[in-house]
Amino acid sequence: MNNPTPAPASGPDGQLAEIWGDVVSRPQLGKAILIGAVVSLAVYAVALATIAPLASTPAIGKALAMLAGIIGCILGGAICARLFQPKRRVVEQIAPGAIWQTEVLDQIAIEGGAIGSVEDLPPAVAQEMREVGLYSVFQDYEQDRARNREAG
Amino acid sequence: MDPLLYDILVALGLGLLGAVLFSAIGLISGTDETTTIAPVTLLVVLLGAPPAGVFTFWMCAAISKHMTHAVPTALLGIPGDTMALPLLQQASALRNLGAPHIALRKMLAGSVISAFIAVPLAVLFAVILAPFGTYITASAPWLFIAASVLIAYFSAGRWASVIALVPFTLLIVALQSFTGAHEVKLGVSYFLGIAIGPLVAELISAASPLERKRMNRSEPRETTLAPDVKGWGGYFPNPFRVLDRSQVRATATAAAITSGTFVFSPVAMTVIAGEIVGARIKHAYHRLTSVLAVRNGVTESTYIAEALIPLIAFGLPLSPVAAGPAAPLFNAPPRFTVNSETGVVNNLHTLMSVSEFLIWGLVSVVIATLIAYPFAMNHARSAAAFVAKRISHEAIIATFVGLILVIGLWEGGVIALLVILTVGLVGGLLYRVLGMNTGVQFMGYYAAVLSVPAILKLLG
C-alpha cells in the first residue's frame, strides 16, 4: 500500500538529474549535447571553407570562422530550447495570507535578527512599508508578541 | 572615416552589445560570471576590437549582469550567479513576505549608485598605486606566488586550496611542454578549461554510476514566480527615490570602501559589507531592504575596482576578478600578452591612458544603466517567466558544449580540446571537492607561466 522507496522517475522525459545547478532529463541532455556539437562544428567548418579564404590574412579568416561557429553554438542552443522543454514547475504565487507572513517573521527572529518596532522607524521607511502593505503585518506581529508575553 | 571617430563608435557599439547580451544572460540563473564573461570578452579581443571597445564591452557586460542577476534572485528565489549568492537570504525573506518587487528595486538602485561611485574611485586608487608599478612588474613572478597563496587561502578551500595549487600548477606546466612537443602553443584553451571546469566535471560525474545517486532527481524543479507590482510612472525610476536617505548613504559608503579592497574575494566583501550595515539597523524590514541595496551595490563596486586597479596601475592580473572574469583584458595571446621572463606587459594597460580608462569607464556605467536598469525594473516578471518556462537547461549546456568545441578547435585543433578536457575535469573536481575556485586556478595558471620559469632559473 505504502511504498517507502521512491519510484524511479522514468516519466515522459526519462530519468531526471540535477547537473550544473538545474534539473535536466538525462536522455534529452545527451541529444542536446549532440545537437549543440554537430550544429556549431558544422557552421564552423562551413565558414572555414567559405568565409575564411575571403579575409585579408589567414588569422582574420580563422577568427571570422570562429565567430560564425559561436553563432552556430547559439543556433544549436536555440534548436535545443525548441525541442526540449525546461524541467521546472513554475507556480504562479497566490496572494500570501497573514499566517504565512507571520511564519516568515518568526524565521527572521530565529535567524538572529531582531524584528524591531515600527514606532522607531524613520517616517520615510514607515511610509514605504504602508505602500507595500507590510506596515500592518509588522505592527500586528509586534502586538501579538507583546500580548503573548503579558499572557505568558 | 576618421580613425578616432571610428574607435569611439566601435567602443560605444561594443558597450551596447555587452550591455544587451549580458542583461539577457543575467536573467538565466546559475550562469557564473567567469564562465560567461571571460570567453565572450576573449572573442571580442581576438577579433581585433580597438582597446576602448574591449574595455567598454567588459565593463558593460559585468555591470549589466550584476543588475539583471537580481531578477531570478528576487522573483524565482534562485541565485542569478556567484555574486548573487549573498543576496539570496534577504531576497527570499522579502519574497516570502510578498514583496519581491521591493527586493528587486532595492538591489537595482543600489547597483546603479555604487557603479557610478566605484569607477572614479578605482581610477584614483590606481593612480595612487601606479608609482609602485615598475617595482611591482619587476618582481611579478614572486608577487604571483604570494597572490596565488593569498587568494587560495581566502577561497572556500583554505589550506586545501593552497596545497592543491602545487599539483595544479605542475599540471599546467606539464601540459604546456606536452603541447610544445607537438608545436602547439595554447593560452585561451587553458582559460576556457578553467572557466568551464565546473560544467565539464558535472557532465563527466553524471556518467559515473557512483555519482548517479547524488545527481538523480525524481521531480522537476519547482519554483514559484512572484507577482510584480509597478509602483512608479514612466520608464526610469530614480534610484535616489527607490532607496531612502540612510540606504543611499550606506550604499555609497560601502561602494567607496570596497573600491579600494581590490585583493580580496568579491563574494567575501559582499557578505561582510552586508553584515556591517545590517548590524546597525534595528527594524527587520528596513534591515532586509538596506542589506540588499548595499550588497548588490558591492557586487558592482568590487568587480569594477578589482578589474580597474590592477589594469591601470600594473597591467598584471593581481586580483581575483582580474585573474578570473577580467582575465582576457590582461592576457589574450597572441594579442594581449604578459611576458614570462621580463614581466613586460602588452595589454589594455599599455594601450590606454588613465583618462581614457576614466572616461570610458563612466561611459560604460551610463550605457549599462540605460539598458539593464530600466529593463530589469519594468520587465522583470515577464523576463523571468520567459527564461523559466522557455529556456531549458539542456539548451544552455548544449550551447556551452558547442562553445568549447569551436574555441578549442580554433586555437589548437584536437590537442587543444584534450587540454580543455583535462584542465576542465581536474579544475572542476578541485572546485567541487576542495572548494578551490576558478579564481585560484587562474592564479595557478599564471604561476605556471610567470613564477615557475623564475623559480627554475633561481635553482639553476
- Tell me whether A98 touches chain B (CB under 8 Å): no
Helix (H) or strand (E) holding A18: strand A16-19
Q: For residue A131, which phi and psi values (nearest 5 degrees)?
A: -65, -40
Mean pLDDT of B199-223: 89
Of A86, A96, A120, the CB nearest to B389: A86
Residue with cell 581576438: B46
List pLDDT tens digits, range B414-426.
Answer: 999 999 999 999 9
Confidence band (pLDDT; 50, 70, 90) for B340?
A: low
Number of Cβ within a 10 Å radius of residue B166: 11
List pLDDT tens digits, range B1-51.
Answer: 688 899 999 999 999 999 999 999 898 876 778 878 988 898 899 888 999
pLDDT of residue A6: 44
State the complex-level ipTM: 0.77
CB contact under 8 A, B287 and A133: no
| Res B366 pLDDT > 70 | yes
CB contact under 8 A, A91 and B43: no
* Dist CA B364 CA B15 (whole Å): 6
Instruction: Please list, in sequence order, all residues whose beta carbon lies within 8 angstroms of the beta carbon of residue A81, skipping any fewer than 6 positions away.
Output: B390, B391, B392, B395
For B223, the closest chain A residue by CA position comes to: A90
Of A76, A93, A113, the CB nearest to B225: A93
- Tell me whether A52 touches chain B (CB under 8 Å): no
Number of Cβ within a 10 Å radius of residue B69: 32
CB < 8 Å to B409, chain A: 41, 44
The dihedral sign for the CA sequence A142, A143, A146, A147: negative
* Dist CA B278 CA B254 (whole Å): 12
CB contact under 8 A, A81 and B410: no
Number of Cβ within a 10 Å radius of residue A92: 9
CB contact under 8 A, A20 and B397: yes
CB contact under 8 A, A87 and B221: yes
Mutation site, B399, B404, B421, interface A, largest A CB count within 10 A: B399
pLDDT of residue B113: 97
Among B265, B263, B262, which Cα is nearest to B82's?
B265
* Dist CA B162 CA B148 (whole Å): 8
Cis, bond preceding B79 (omega within 30 deg of 0): no
Cα distances (Å, whole numbers) of residue B189 to A91, B39, B342, B367, B449: 41, 10, 23, 31, 14
Q: Are A70 and A122 in contact (CB under 8 A)?
A: no
Ramachandran sector of residue A96 (left: φ over 0; alpha: ψ -120 to 50; beta: rest): beta
Half-sphere exposure of B370 (CA within 13 A, CB side): 11
Among B295, B317, B294, which Cα is nearest to B307's?
B317
Residue with cell 589594455: B348
The B residues from 5 to 64 touching A (CB cutoff 8 Å) are: 29-30, 43, 46-48
Number of Cβ within a 10 Å radius of residue B422: 19
Cα distances (Å, whole numbers) of residue B168 to B162, B196, B272, B443, B448: 10, 16, 30, 10, 9
Of A9, A23, A66, the CB nearest to B407: A66
* Dist CA B268 CA B433 (whole Å): 20
CB contact under 8 A, B231 and A73: no
Mean pLDDT of B154-163: 90
* Dist CA B374 CA B153 (whole Å): 39
Length of chain A, please?
152
The better pLDDT of the pair B144, B335 is held by B335
- Tell me whether B231 touches chain A (CB under 8 Å): yes
CB < 8 Å to B244, chain A: 122, 124-125, 128
Of A41, A64, A101, the CB nearest to B97: A101
The A residues from 64 to 93 touching B (CB cutoff 8 Å) are: 64-67, 69-70, 72-74, 76-78, 80-81, 84-93
Among B207, B410, B416, which Cα is nearest to A40's?
B410
Q: For residue A22, which phi and psi values (nearest 5 degrees)?
A: -150, 165
Q: To the nearest whole number, what is the mean pLDDT of chain B? A: 89
Q: Are A113 and B277 in contact (CB under 8 A)?
A: no
CB contact under 8 A, B285 and A78: no
CB < 8 Å to B223, chain A: 88-91
CB < 8 Å to A32, chain B: 392, 394-395, 397-398
* Dist CA B147 CA B440 (whole Å): 9
For A84, the closest chain B residue by CA position comes to: B392
Residue with cell 563596486: B301
Instruction: Please list, in sequence order, all residues whose beta carbon lies within 8 angstroms of the beta carbon of residue B312, skipping any fewer than 6 positions away.
Output: B122, B123, B126, B127, B130, B349, B354, B357
| Res A3 pLDDT > 50 | no
Show the DSSP H helices in B238-353 as ranges. Answer: 239-242, 245-258, 266-278, 284-313, 320-323, 327-330, 348-351
Cis, bond preceding B334 (omega within 30 deg of 0): yes
CB < 8 Å to B406, chain A: 40-41, 44, 66, 69-70, 72-73
How many residue pairs bridge chain A and chain B with CB atoms within 8 Å of each other?
A: 241
Confidence band (pLDDT; 50, 70, 90) for A25?
A: very high
Question: If you ran DSSP here, which 8-state letter would residue A11 be given?
Answer: B
List pLDDT tens digits, range B91-105.
Answer: 988 888 878 888 999
